[in-house]
Amino acid sequence: MNKNTKITTALLLAAGTGSRLMPLTSKAPKCLTEVNGKSFLERLVENLVKKGFKRLVIVTGHQKQCIEEFISNLSADITIEFIYSPLYKTTNNIYSLWMARETINEPFMLVEGDLIFDVSLLDEMIFPDRMAIAKILPWMNGTTITIDEAMQVKSFHKNTDMNGTVELKYKTVNIYSFSLASWKVIKMGLDQNIKANKVSGYYETVFGEMMNDQQLSLKAVDFNNQLWYEVDTLQDLIEAEKLFSTESYVPGISEEILQKTAETQTRIPSDIKELTVQLSNG
Query: How confident is the model at residue 148, as a pLDDT?
Result: 84
Average pLDDT over residues 53-71: 96
Q: What are the residue boundaries of the structural domains of the chain, listed by start?
A: 9-126+174-250
For residues 18 and 20, what is the distance between their CA atoms, to the nearest angstrom? 6
* Interval 165-178: pLDDT, tens: 445 578 889 999 99
How many percent of the chain have pLDDT more than 70?
A: 80
CA neighbours closer than 13 Å in the CB half-sphere of residue 33? 32
| Res. 20: pLDDT tops 80 | yes
DSSP-derived pairing of the beta strands 79-84 and 144-147 = unpaired
CB-CB contact of 168 with 144 (8 Å): yes
Digit-coded pLDDT (tens) for 113-162: 999 999 999 999 999 999 999 887 765 666 788 888 888 888 887 765 54
Q: Does the pLDDT at position 185 exceed 70?
A: yes
- Give residue 1's pLDDT: 56
The CATH homologous superfamily to which domain 9-126+174-250 belongs is Spore Coat Polysaccharide Biosynthesis Protein SpsA; Chain A (3.90.550.10)
Amino acid of residue 236: D
CB-based contacts of 11, cutoff 8 Å, min separation 6: 56, 57, 58, 59, 97, 100, 104, 108, 109, 110, 111
